[in-house]
Chains A and B, each alone.
Chain A
Amino acid sequence: MSALDVLSIRKDFPILTQKIREKPLIYLDNAASSQKPDSVIDAISNNYRFDYANIHRGVHTLSQRSTDSFEGAREKVRVFLNAESVKEIIFIRGATEGINLIAQTYGRSNIGQDDEIIITAMEHHANIVPWQILCEQTGARLRVVPMTERGELILDDYRSLFNSKTRLVSIAHMSNALGTVNPVAEMIKTAHSHNVPVVLDGAQSAPHMTTDVRALDCDFYVFSGHKLYGPAGIGVLYGKQALLEAMPPYQGGGDMIRKVSFQKTEYNDLPYKFEAGTPAIADVIGLGAAIDYITGIGLDNIAAYEDDLLRYATEQVNQITGLRIIGEAAHKGAILSFVLDGVHPHDIGTLLDTVGIAIRAGHHCAMPVMDFYQVPATARASFAMYNTEQEIDVLVSALKELIKVFR
């Protein structure tokens, strides 16, 4: 296995030491949300304990300390994404809010009647519904890139979707329901050759692979802190500065203005133009701590280790008769979605919980994907850097037992 000291990593995550129904917790629901290391928990509680005050414009010491940590976290995010400027890093609640923001600002000012927005067959509802709302508001249309049975996008079809009406492409870097990692660099090049900007949904990819927004040349990128070992309720929207500058604000209020009178309001500079109101200060600081933690271990090491875990898990579950993996793309992140003959995913989830294993069962906010595979739901085990082969062994033997119980 790769150069990762998993045992010492596990010690950093206090929640992992507990027992569930008297069995050691085996947490395999990381694609939904990952657990938090002490350093993130401490960063949040230390802010509240020692440094907390509202940020920006404060003349007192605590406000200055909180502001410094808050803006320090923004710089950490900039480095993490390799963005050019902190002006391009906007704090939002999560990937969902980021996509809604783009739809309602960039979208409403650049997309109109009969224009087309391209998404893919494997999107999370968060990358479908905001565009449908925009389509209802403007009369634009959604076009969907189809995928193969293995869960890979059909790039020829993608290329042929472009026409003079295409205004925007919005795609998941990595699918939460299938694990597929999409060839986004190539897809972005195609879109740019038609002068169409691209939104990347990085909710799943950000925790598992290095992201370089400048190398990818994506126009927008969103991710959520809670899947990145950071706090829930905080996330990031990256946008190219020129695009963000041309966009109208999302919400009005404090912080996003420079000058207000009853006649006219002047908006603040980036990134504050898009950060109306008091933000989740401690959570932003917690996100900064999460990025420090990941960077300390190294995303390349994390990715290599998780690849090994996925390969091992795939080999092991493939030996279970009656188990079908949903999503078999050549390039996958550490997600294993599956169905078992004669056992409904919800029964799998409940039974595994009785032995301390946390997986997810359901449609994973990707109902069109379930329809495509003609399954009502799937069971999904998703891995993180703190999972081990031994945990996968327990999962596999539990699945084998469970089949016996149901037959």
Chain B
Amino acid sequence: MFEDLRDLYQEVIFDHNRNPRNFRIIENASREVEGFNPLCGDRLTLYLNIVSGVIEDASFQGSGCAISTASVSLMTEIIKGKTEGEAETLFSQFHKMTTTEGEVDWAAIGKLAVLAGVKDYPARVKCATLAWHTLDTALKNEGQLSISTE
């Protein structure tokens, strides 16, 4: 019945939705930011441990739709071991991919490309970008914070 579904919901997304990676709390994390999308009630808390400019560990808690859960799960996987600068670059690439503002460096995007379909679903873009805006806030600010997409 749902032939058109794969544009947006690739199998990887279902996989991460069923079994989110890094779904845990990091005690004494160096950064802890809560991201909230009041429109759909998606809520996640991102934990980072940053040591000498490198993201040594990343995890999250919270609940949201399949797109937002897969997005944050994939993100925590991919940013682990990256420097803060590399993570920022990924954020800007991800932003380009989901909004089609500018050329996307597909090599850098890697498996995050499974989320490229959201650009055709404007109502769902924020679901995919919530994790990354939360990360952006976490990288720019020490300690605990919360942000909202609206």
Contacts and interface: CB of A to CB of B under 8 A. Distances in A.
A361 B1 contact: no
Contacts of B102: none
Given A347-B67, A377-B41, A397 B127 contact: no
B65 A398 contact: no
B113 interface: no
A405 B5 contact: yes
B5 A376 contact: no
Contacts of A406: 14, 17, 66
A391 to B, nearest CB: 15
Contacts of A367: 38
Interface string B15-28: 00100000000000
B40 A354 contact: no
B110 to A, nearest CB: 24
Interface string A35-63: 00000000000000000000000000000
B2 A346 contact: no
A126 to B, nearest CB: 17
A371 B80 CA distance: 34
A401 interface: yes
Nearest to B3: A354
Contact of A351 (B5, B38, B123): B5
B133 interface: no
Given A346-B127, A354-B5, A405-B5, A362 B64 contact: no
B8 A376 contact: no
A246 to B, nearest CB: 39
A271 B14 CA distance: 57
B1 A376 contact: no
A350 B40 CA distance: 13
Interface string B31-46: 0000000111111000
Given A344-B64, A344-B65, A406-B17, A351 B42 contact: no
Given A376-B63, A406-B17, A406-B66, A346 B1 contact: no
Counting chain B CB atoms within 10 Å of each CB, the highest count among A351, A354, A377, A401 belongs to A354
B82 interface: no
**Secondary structure dominating the interface of A:** helix
How extensive is the interface on chain B, given as a class? 20 to 34
B106 interface: no
B128 to A, nearest CB: 11
Interface string A360-373: 01110001001000
Interface in A317-375: 343-347, 350-351, 354-355, 361-363, 367, 370, 375
A32 to B, nearest CB: 13
A398 B1 contact: yes
A397 B39 CA distance: 27
A402 interface: yes
Counting chain B CB atoms within 10 Å of each CB, the highest count among A343, A344, A355 belongs to A344
Contacts of A345: 40, 65
A21 interface: yes
Given A21-B4, A377-B40, A346 B65 contact: yes
A28 B80 CA distance: 44
Contacts of A363: 38-41
Contact of B66 (A21, A347, A355, A401): A347
A337 to B, nearest CB: 14
Given A355-B1, A401-B1, 4 more contacts: A346-B65, A370-B41, A405-B5, A406-B14
Q: Which 9 residue pairs of A and B lie closest in terms of their CB atoms, listed nearest first?
A: A376-B41, A344-B65, A346-B65, A354-B4, A401-B1, A377-B41, A347-B66, A346-B40, A347-B65
16 contacts: A343-B66, A345-B40, A345-B65, A346-B40, A346-B124, A346-B127, A347-B9, A362-B40, A363-B38, A363-B39, A375-B41, A376-B41, A376-B43, A377-B41, A405-B2, A406-B66
Interface of A: 21, 343-347, 350-351, 354-355, 361-363, 367, 370, 375-377, 397-398, 401-402, 405-406
